[in-house]
Structure formats: structure tokens, C-alpha cells
């Protein structure tokens, strides 16, 4: 049954990709994605397909990883015996609490556990999702893989993620499915199912652009790490960033920045209207 579970994971990624394109470009050609989704649905056993559709009507997260012994969707504990059976892939298991399909994947990227101590107040707007130390005014990268690697290493160096190599691998796997490049020289490579932490992104810029896909090079590249619990909310962040940088003057102001501090100040000001 492992092949069925792999189909479910791929189906969920395609559905998220469809939602991403609708959020970033409602007029994008979506028929190839829709056809791929339909073909995958046809391959699933009828009872599995019915359950998938039923869960998806209420929540876009249908297939959840096991994280630290818990369902990544609702947080309810999964017994070690069930976790071992899921890892073996001999049959399909669902969470007893939320009914999501469960899967086990080795070495998922993690955000480090923060030490106990006084909690910082939650930031407002874009400060909830990034940091001045995650701004890169001049990417060294010349290729898509190099850009993703450069920013993944920055996220790790600043303590926002562990195992950056796995982050790069999964981000490139997602790019191979459907490119995250959109109009106006923007790209949003990302990885889901990050263990722990919060929705976070690094922003890298290159005036000459980096070739992702689509009509032209991407000059503003956002590498986003998405905890399972934020899988749906991240679409709001994505839409806010696209609305902000669909304006040519906003892109021009960002690309003029020559330091992380200038980038952060400009990003904060530009996104204030669209990201609360």
C-alpha cells in the first residue's frame, strides 16, 4: 500500500500547487494541473478517494506526517506500533482523531527547539514571518538550485531550521513538480511539513535574476518553510506578497536596497497594507 500513500502525498502537493497558482495568478493556465489531479484521483482505491474528498472539503491538509510521535495535522499521539506499521507501508492508516491519512518520512527538516526563557512579543505584519537577518540584498547564486541552497544555509545559520541539505532537496523536488515562479520576476520556493517552529521565509534578491521557470528570470526569491499546521495559512502570506510586489514601483524600491537593514525597512513598509 506504500504506492497508494505516495500517490496521496503527491495528490496533496498538486492540490496545494493549484491553490498557490490561484492565489498568485488567477488567470494562470491551470488545466494541466487539474488534469494531473484528476488522473491521480482515478488511480486511488474508491474508498480512499472518497475519504480524501471528504476531508478536503473541510481542510486542505488531508495527508499529515507523523512528527515526534504525533499526528502532524491535529497533534494527537500515534502509538509506536502504529507508527512502525505506517513506516513499513503495509496498509493505509488514518488518525483516530482527525481522520487524516498518516505517513512517515525520515529526516524531515526541523526548526530548532527554542530554549526556555522570557518570550518575545509577537511581531506585527511581516515581522511574524521573517527577520532582518534573513534578507539577502545580493544573491551570489546563478541558478535555481544555488539560490535555494544559499538561502537554506542562511536559515540554518540564523537558527531558523536544521538540516538545510534536506530543505534544499525537498524544495527542488517541489520545483520539479510545478515551478513556483510567477509573474513580475517573483519566485516562492518552499518546503512543507517542517517540524515545529513557525511560518518563516528568507528573501534573496538578484538584479540580473535567477532562472526558475516561466517568462523571465526571478529577481525576488522567497524561500518559505511551512510547518504542517500552517499549510493553509501560508496561502494568505503568499497572496499578500504577490499583491505587494505586483506593483512595479514596489519591486523597484526593493531592488534598490543594498543592505539587509534597508531591505527589512522597505519590506516592512511595502507589505503593511497587505500583510497584517
Write out the DSSP string of 26-64.
Answer: TTS--HHHHHHHHHHHHHS-HHHHHHHHHHHTT-S--EE
pLDDT band at 26 (very low <50, low <70, confident <90, very high): low
Return the closest-CA partner of residue 251 out of 216, 224, 276: 216
The DSSP code for 24 is: H
Task: State mean pLDDT over 230-237.
Answer: 83
pLDDT at 193: 83
Residue 12 confidence (pLDDT) above 50: yes
Average pLDDT for the chain: 88
pLDDT band at 25 (very low <50, low <70, confident <90, very high): confident
pLDDT at 27: 67
Q: Where are the domains of the chain?
A: 2-103, 125-271
Return the closest-CA partner of residue 29 out of 214, 202, 186: 214
pLDDT at 120: 40
- The distance of Cα 221 from the centroid of its chain, to the nearest Å, equals 13
Q: At what angle do helices 260-271 and 234-245 cross, to 10 degrees?
A: 100
pLDDT at 165: 94
pLDDT band at 122 (very low <50, low <70, confident <90, very high): low
C-alpha cell at 266: 522597505
Does residue 195 sit in helix, strand or coil?
Answer: strand
Say which CATH topology domain 125-271 has.
Mannitol-specific EII; Chain A (3.40.930)
pLDDT at 231: 75
pLDDT higher at 99 or 20? 99
The pTM (predicted TM-score) of the whole model is 0.83
* Alpha-carbon torsion (153, 156, 160, 165), positive or negative: positive
- 118 CB-near residues (< 8 Å, 6+ apart): none
pLDDT at 195: 78
Say which CATH topology domain 2-103 has.
Helix Hairpins (1.10.287)
pLDDT at 121: 43
- 128 CB-near residues (< 8 Å, 6+ apart): 122, 198, 199
Residue listed under C-alpha cell 526563557: 117
C-alpha cell at 151: 538561502
Amino acid at each position: 500500500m506504500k504506492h497508494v500513500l505516495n500517490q496521496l502525498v503527491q495528490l496533496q502537493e498538486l492540490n496545494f500547487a493549484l491553490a498557490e497558482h490561484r492565489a498568485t495568478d488567477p488567470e494562470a493556465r491551470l488545466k494541466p494541473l487539474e488534469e494531473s489531479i484528476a488522473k491521480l484521483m482515478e488511480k486511488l482505491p474508491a474508498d480512499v478517494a472518497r475519504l480524501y474528498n471528504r476531508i478536503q472539503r473541510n481542510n486542505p491538509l488531508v495527508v499529515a506526517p507523523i512528527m515526534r510521535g504525533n499526528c502532524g495535522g491535529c497533534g494527537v499521539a500515534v502509538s509506536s506500533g502504529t507508527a512502525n506499521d505506517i513506516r513499513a507501508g503495509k496498509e493505509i492508516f488514518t488518525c483516530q482523531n482527525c481522520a487524516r491519512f498518516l505517513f512517515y518520512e525520515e529526516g524531515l527538516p526541523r526548526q530548532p527547539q527554542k530554549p526556555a526563557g522570557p518570550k518575545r512579543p509577537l511581531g506585527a505584519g511581516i515581522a511574524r514571518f521573517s527577520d532582518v537577518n534573513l534578507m539577502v540584498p545580493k544573491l551570489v547564486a546563478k541558478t535555481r538550485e544555488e539560490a535555494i541552497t544559499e538561502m537554506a544555509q542562511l536559515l540554518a545559520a540564523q537558527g531558523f531550521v536544521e538540516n538545510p541539505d534536506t530543505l534544499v532537496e525537498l524544495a527542488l523536488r517541489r520545483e520539479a513538480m510545478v515551478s513556483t515562479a510567477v509573474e513580475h520576476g517573483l519566485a516562492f520556493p518552499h518546503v512543507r511539513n517542517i517540524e515545529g517552529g513557525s511560518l518563516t521565509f528568507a528573501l534573496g534578491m538578484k538584479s540580473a535574476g535567477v532562472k526558475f521557470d516561466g517568462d523571465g528570470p526571478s529577481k525576488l526569491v522567497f524561500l518559505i518553510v511551512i510547518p504542517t499546521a500552517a499549510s493553509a495559512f501560508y496561502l494568505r502570506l503568499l497572496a499578500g506578497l504577490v499583491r505587494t510586489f505586483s506593483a512595479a514601483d514596489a519591486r523597484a524600491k526593493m531592488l534598490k536596497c543594498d543592505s539587509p537593514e534597508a531591505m527589512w525597512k522597505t519590506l516592512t513598509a511595502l507589505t503593511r497594507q497587505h500583510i497584517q
